[in-house]
Each structure stands twice: as C-alpha cells, then as structure tokens.
C-alpha cells in the first residue's frame, strides 16, 4: 500500500485518505460529490440501500479511477453507535488498510469521508481502487450451475476461495459478512484465477487470534450446497474440520437461512441490489457431474438432503412394501433352495460397460476384442447434449455391426425432471436412432439416490411417462428397470408400484454393489450376494410391472490409491487423507469380480451381469491414467481367462464342501472343469475330484497345494 494515512477535512466532510492521493480530495473536487455519486448513470456496480459506482477523479492532469460506495441513511440508534465506533465507511477503510498491510486481498483503500450533523450521519462514502473484470464468487457459482455443472472445476474454485479465507483468518480478521457476493477475483482467458478480493468489510473485527466459533460464523454465510460447503471447510483445514467448528457452522448456517427467509418480513420495502448474472437455482435442483468418477456428485449432506425429499416419499415406499412384502417373502423362501440346482448355459451371461464419448473408443474396442463377443453396455446421459448422443449412437452401430449384443442405459439429471420437453427430446432421439440395434434399454438410473436428480416416486413417474408412448411405438424394444442401486430393495417395490399405466419392464435391472461388505460372500445381516440375488429374483417373479428376468447392470469395487477417480472418494481427497476402508487392491478386485459373477449367475437368480467398467482409473479393468499409457490390470487378465474357460461353458452343480469353501462344476463340450476358491480361509484338501492339471485365475499352470481367495480351475 502506497504511503501513510492522513486526516481529511474538506467543508462538512471529515475522514482519512492515503497520503499519495490527498491531492485528489480538495474542496473543488469534492464539491457536490454526494450528488455526483447518487445521480451517476454510468459505472453503476450495485444499487439498492447502498450504491456503488465507478468515478474518475482528475487533478493536475492525473486521473484516478475509484469505486465509491455511498452508504444509505440509517436509523438514529445506528447513527449513535457509529458516532462512537466509527461509520461503516470508516470501518471499511480501516479494515482494508489492515488487510492490505498483511498481504490479504482487498481493493486498495483510497479514502473515506463522512458528513455528520450532530450525532446524525448525513452522508458516508468509502473509496477504493477500481479493479476491472472482477467476478464475484456468487456470479461464478451461478455460471457453474447453469453452464458447466462440472465437479472438478467447482472444487478447484472452492480450493482457491478456501485458501484465501484461511489467510484472512490467520492474520486476525473476522469478516462477519462473508457472503458469496463479498468475495471477488479476476478470471483470465486460460481460467487462471487472480487473488481473491474481500469486500464489504464494515462489519469486520480485528482479533489477535480467531476462535473456532468465529471462523465457523464466517463460513455460515457462504451459500453452497452442504456437501460442497464441507469440501470448502476441508480445504480450509487441510483435512476434516474440528468438531466444534463443524457444529457451530451448521448451527449458524441454519440461523442464517432463517434470517434470509425472514428478510421480506423484516424489510418489506427494501430493494435488493441489482447486477450479477442471475439467481441461484434452488439448492435441491443443483446437479453437478463428476467426470473423474463418472457419476453425479453428492451435493447435500444427509441433514440437508432430508429437507427436500418429496412429500409422501416415505409413505409411498412403506405402502408399496406393505402391499408386496408377504408375496415377495414367500417367493424368496421358495427361490432360495433352488440356488445352484439348475444347469445354466453361460454364453452371453457376462458383459462389460464401455465409455462411449469421454475415452478413446478405438482403444476400448481393441481391448474388448480380447474378451471375445461379450455383451456390451453403453450409457447415454441427458446432461451431455446432442453431440455426445450422436457419438454414442455411432458406437452402438459399430458394436452391433461387430456381432455383439448391446444394452443401453438412459441416465437422467435434475434438468430432465425440471424440463420434461428436453427429456422427451433425448429419449426420442436415442431410442429412435439406436432402439432397433439393442437388446435392452435401461430407463432411468439409481432412482433411489437423490444426487441423480430423482427426489421421489412422482419424479420417476414423470420421467417414465414419455416411455409409455415409445414402448407403443417400438414394441420390439425391451425396457428394463427400475434401476435402483445397492441393497435398498424397498425402493424397488415403490418404483415398480409407481410405474405409469402401460409401462412394462421386460426385466428387473438393478445396480447391486456389495463393496461395503468386502468379499461378495460376506453377509449384510442375513444377506450375502447369493441371498440378495435371490430376493431380486423373488421381487421380479411377484411384481406385475416386470418380467421375471433379472439383470445386474452395474457392479465393481473401488480401487486403492485412485483418489478422486474412485467412486467412494470422489469430489475431494485431502493431501494426507487415509485410504478409504472400502477400497481394495487390484488383485482383490479381480478375484472378487470372478466370485461375484459366478455366484450371481450360477445360482440361477441373475440372467446377466455387466461389469462397470472396462476402462476407468478408479474402478475399471484398465487404468487409462497409468504412467506410460493404458495398463491392463490383473482383473482384466482374470476376466479374459474366466471367459476363455467358462464363457461358453455350462454350469452343472455346486458341490457340498466345508464352510467357506466353494467348488462348482462346469462342462465345456466333452471337457469338465471345476472352479474352486475360499472366502477368508485356506483349504488344503482333500480335493473333490481327480484332476489332470490346474490353472490359477491369471491362466498360469500351477501345482496346487492349497486354495485361498483367488479362484483356480481344475481340469478333470
């Protein structure tokens, strides 16, 4: 900051000014200053109770461009307070001087001056440098929500803001009005962000050291969905925030939300400031795409999310369960003893998912060739837009021409619910172009997860309405659903119950992740993967809205060390964050996959499983981010060997063995193959059959002394 501070006294105006600029503030230049500010038509940055304009001050051939904030008149009680403590303009000047001297971003203070009549404040002005092309954090967020909806871009911006807030707090400044509109920065063409500039400093306090509660209070006025506010706090603290900070932030945030809602009653005649690029969407309608983990971001923490569930959501779910629970449970009890009791042709039962637009499709296709003619699943996402939809259709045509069975998944976003015309256009285009080339169309995605844009049965029903007409128009297409996720089968009952008249699912498709339990044989209550698949089959058998075919259209395990690309550590990972407990090694990922595929399909409960996905750093069989280029993980080798040995075989029987020892017999033409593994133990014999040779899961010939978690193939 240039020079010291000097007193300013010109006519009725009293204040302070930086010495360097004192020559600009004499009686001649300040004559009619208030009228000039209030009547300015150009350079108005903000208007309302207070007015901010840009003025050019000239003196002796020099020009000084300044931003002037003219504070509005206030009540007598506030005037008395300001007479003792200093006006808002004076406090702004002193706060900015303090921050600037300590290297914290704020427009350079130039001067302030007030006009007092006794204890009444008649006029009050604060002048600072005018910095061109500043964007407020508020406007930046609105543009992200409206135009980009990109998680990584948002998190990077939050990191930039969080670091600046931490610097401000660490020098001892408590802002006390740290709303999104009071943080500004410059954005260059290459999207590099300049220093954060803190403005509206008049409520601030200077402290020796800020307490946790004072720091939390500043966070409480930052307008973000709670999950991203948590990211901001974690960047600020370099990890998980202290509990006292979080508790105070949430408490203050709720109070501030009430304060915001009550504004129209507290100030019924006060105009809001104009300017900016628009308004925030409702928090429940904010939808952010996380490209790295290929999923919608969680925008709200549970405590906030619960407020926005649709009315009657729980009642509809409970009613659907009550209506079907008895029939489903009886069918489940009938199905469970039938596990592994039927011969099953495995050809075409195991598929993989590809990424049609965001990865090199030619390379994916080359890798796919190594797995043979396996079925393929492609996603079509509403948020991606027409260019990506067209590219996806091109890939469907290529896959179909190669002789593969193709299934497509139609994925909604929140805009699909809010703008039904756009959703209908999406469906009409994709199904009209690709419908005749695919075996199944999964309609909607993870409808029991609010982050995917569906807030209840009514939203899902609205998304399904145009599908009824499409089913009539394309009667050969098999629609599948309701595409719920995880072991939350009560939502399946509700989703099936909410299907509109005329819609019939040709299969029950589901995203059955079991990663929270580690190995697929591990239990969640009384349900391991086997029982979960049996219950899925029972629901499909009983539900009138679908056929009894079951498709698991998504499953994988999150991989260790993959950070924000992992589905369980997506959005943000701190620099010293421990490994997520659900993450597994690449080797365990591979052996869990094989065991899952065999249990789900050979049990007879699931007709087809699609592995999500062929290429993905955080959860795929191929690591596209590996040093040196795309790398085949051990899981890819294991799947290729599995398909070579059993992909066209017939499952015959599961042998009775010791607890946690699995032995399943297959036939491939005249050849008999036994697949064995253990869950959480070692088995050293006796062997259930005499065998000629054995392969491990990677296809290597081995001498067997014991069997552990990795499956082995015994050739009889």
Give the start-to-end residue ranges of the domains of the chain.
5-129, 134-269+276-285, 312-559+604-620, 661-715
Per-residue CA distances from 268 to 49, 74, 263, 271, 272 (Å)? 13, 16, 8, 9, 11
pTM above 0.85, yes or no: yes
> Domain 312-559+604-620 belongs to what topology?
TIM Barrel (3.20.20)
How many angstroms separate the CA atoms of 361 and 354, rounded? 8
Query: Dihedral of CA 142/148/151/156: which sign?
Result: negative
Q: Is 307 exposed, middle or buried (0-12, 13-18, 19+ CB in 10 A)?
A: exposed
Q: Quick one: pLDDT at residue 190?
A: 57
Per-residue CA distances from 711 to 168, 675, 676, 697 (Å)? 57, 6, 5, 6
How many angstroms separate the CA atoms of 524 and 230, rounded? 29
Q: Quick one: pLDDT at residue 263?
A: 66
> Given this chain, do its domains 5-129 and 134-269+276-285 carry the same CATH topology?
no
Q: Are the beta carbons of 509 and 480 closer than 8 angstroms? A: yes
pLDDT tens by residue, 548-604 = 999 999 999 999 999 999 999 999 999 889 999 999 999 999 999 999 999 999 999
pLDDT below 70 — which residues of the chain? 1-3, 189-191, 262-264, 266-277
Query: Dihedral of CA 173/174/177/181: which sign?
Result: positive
Residue 15: partners with Cβ closer than 8 Å, 6 or more residues away: 7, 8, 9, 89, 90, 93, 111, 112, 113, 114
Tell me which H or E stretch contains 89. helix 88-101
Per-residue CA distances from 282 to 66, 158, 219, 224, 286 (Å)? 35, 19, 20, 11, 7
Query: Dihedral of CA 303/309/311/312: which sign?
Result: negative
Q: Are the beta carbons of 452 and 412 closer than 8 angstroms? A: yes
192: three-class secondary structure by DSSP? coil
Q: Quick one: pLDDT at residue 516?
A: 87
Order across the sheet with 109-117: list the strands: 5-10, 13-18, 109-117, 120-129, 62-70, 51-59, 44-46
**DSSP assignment, residue 336?**
G
Q: Give the number of C-alpha atoms closer than 13 A to the C-alpha of residue 708, restricted to the C-beta side.
A: 3
Q: Is 573 exposed, middle or buried (0-12, 13-18, 19+ CB in 10 A)?
A: middle
Per-residue CA distances from 75 to 3, 10, 78, 114, 683 (Å)? 36, 25, 5, 16, 84
Q: Which of 692, 686, 696, 698 is nearest to 715 (CA)?
A: 692
Residue 618: partners with Cβ closer than 8 Å, 6 or more residues away: 292, 293, 558, 559, 562, 563, 564, 565, 566, 567, 570
Q: Is 685 exposed, middle or buried (0-12, 13-18, 19+ CB in 10 A)?
A: exposed
> Domain 134-269+276-285 belongs to what topology?
Transferase(Phosphotransferase); domain 1 (1.10.510)
> Is the peptide bond between 686 and the residue preceding it cis, with omega within 30 degrees of 0?
yes
Q: Which of 443, 524, 541 is nearest to 488 (CA)?
A: 524
Share above pLDDT 70 across residues of the chain, in percent, rounded to a whole number = 97
Q: Are the beta carbons of 202 and 91 closer than 8 angstroms? A: yes
Residue 260: partners with Cβ closer than 8 Å, 6 or more residues away: none
Residue 544: partners with Cβ closer than 8 Å, 6 or more residues away: none
Order across the sheet with 671-678: list the strands: 344-345, 650-654, 661-668, 671-678, 712-715, 693-696, 701-702
- CATH number of this structure's domain 5-129: 3.30.200
pLDDT tens by residue, 194-241 = 999 999 999 999 999 999 999 999 999 999 999 999 999 999 999 999
């Amino acid at each position: 900051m240039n020079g010291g501070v000097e007193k300013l006294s010109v006519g009725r105006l009293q204040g302070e000014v930086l010495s360097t600029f004192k020559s600009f503030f004499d009686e001649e230049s300040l004559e009619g200053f208030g009228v000039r500010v209030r009547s300015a038509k150009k350079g108005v940055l903000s208007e309302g109770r207070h007015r901010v304009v840009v003025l050019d001050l000239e003196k002796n051939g020099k020009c000084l461009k300044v931003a002037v904030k003219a504070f509005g008149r206030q009540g007598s009680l506030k005037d008395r307070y300001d007479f003792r403590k200093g006006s808002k303009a004076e406090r702004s000047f002193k706060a900015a001087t303090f921050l600037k001297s300590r290297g914290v971003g704020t427009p350079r203070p130039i001067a302030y001056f007030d006009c007092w009549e006794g204890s009444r404040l008649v006029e009050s002005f604060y002048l600072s440098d005018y910095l061109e092309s500043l964007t407020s954090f508020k406007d930046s967020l609105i543009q992200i929500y409206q135009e980009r909806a990109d998680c990584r871009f948002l998190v990077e911006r939050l990191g930039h803001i969080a670091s600046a807030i931490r610097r401000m707090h660490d020098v001892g400044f408590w802002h006390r009005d740290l709303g999104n509109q009071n943080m500004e920065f410059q954005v260059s063409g290459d999207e590099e962000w300049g220093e954060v500039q803190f403005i509206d400093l008049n409520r601030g306090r200077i402290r020796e050291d800020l307490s946790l509660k004072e720091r939390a209070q500043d966070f409480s006025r930052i307008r973000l969905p709670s999950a991203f506010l948590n990211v901001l706090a974690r960047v600020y603290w370099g990890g998980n925030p202290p509990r006292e900070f979080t508790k105070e932030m949430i408490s203050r945030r709720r109070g501030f939300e009430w304060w915001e809602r009550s504004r129209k009653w507290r100030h019924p005649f006060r105009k809001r400031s104009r300017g900016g690029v628009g308004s925030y969407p409702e928090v429940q309608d904010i939808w952010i795409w996380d490209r790295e983990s290929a999923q919608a971001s969680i925008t709200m923490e549970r405590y906030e999310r619960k407020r926005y569930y649709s009315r009657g959501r729980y009642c509809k779910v409970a009613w659907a369960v009550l209506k079907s629970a008895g029939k489903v449970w009886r069918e489940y009890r009938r199905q469970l003893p039938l596990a592994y009791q039927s011969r099953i042709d495995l050809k075409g039962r195991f598929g993989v998912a590809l990424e049609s637009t965001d990865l090199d499709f030619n390379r994916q296709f080359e890798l796919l060739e190594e797995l043979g003619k396996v079925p393929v699943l492609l996603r079509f996402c509403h948020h991606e837009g027409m260019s990506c939809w067209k590219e996806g259709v091109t890939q469907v045509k290529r896959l179909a021409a190669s002789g593969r069975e193709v299934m497509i998944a139609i994925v909604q976003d929140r805009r699909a619910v809010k703008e039904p015309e756009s959703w209908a256009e999406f469906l009409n285009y994709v199904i009209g172009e690709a419908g005749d080339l695919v075996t199944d169309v999964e309609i909607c995605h993870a409808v029991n997860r609010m982050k995917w844009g569906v807030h209840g049965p009514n939203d899902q029903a609205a998304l399904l309405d145009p599908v009824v007409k499409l089913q009539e128009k394309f009667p050969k297409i098999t629609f599948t659903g309701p595409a719920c996720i995880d072991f939350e089968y009560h939502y399946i009952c509700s989703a099936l119950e909410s299907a509109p008249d005329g819609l019939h699912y040709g299969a029950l498709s589901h995203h059955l992740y079991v990663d929270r339990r580690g190995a697929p044989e591990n239990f969640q209550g009384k349900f391991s993967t086997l029982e979960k698949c049996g219950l899925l089959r029972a629901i499909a058998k009983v539900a009138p809205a679908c056929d009894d075919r079951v498709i698991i259209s998504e499953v994988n395990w999150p991989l260790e060390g993959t950070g924000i690309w992992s589905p369980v550590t997506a959005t943000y990972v701190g620099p010293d964050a421990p490994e997520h407990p659900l993450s597994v090694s690449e080797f365990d990922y591979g052996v869990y996959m094989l065991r899952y595929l065999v249990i789900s399909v050979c049990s007879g409960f699931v007709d087809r499983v699609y592995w999500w996905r062929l290429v993905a750093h955080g959860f795929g069989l191929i690591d596209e981010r590996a040093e040196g280029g795309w790398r085949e993980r051990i899981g890819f080798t294991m799947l290729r060997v599995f398909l070579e040995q059993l992909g066209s075989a017939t499952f015959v029987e599961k042998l009775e063995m010791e607890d946690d020892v699995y032995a399943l017999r297959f036939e491939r033409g005249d050849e008999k193959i036994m697949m064995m593994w253990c869950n959480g133990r070692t088995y050293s014999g006796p062997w259930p059959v005499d065998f000629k040779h054995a392969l491990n899961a990677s296809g290597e010939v081995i001498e067997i002394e014991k069997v552990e978690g990795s499956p082995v193939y015994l050739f009889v």
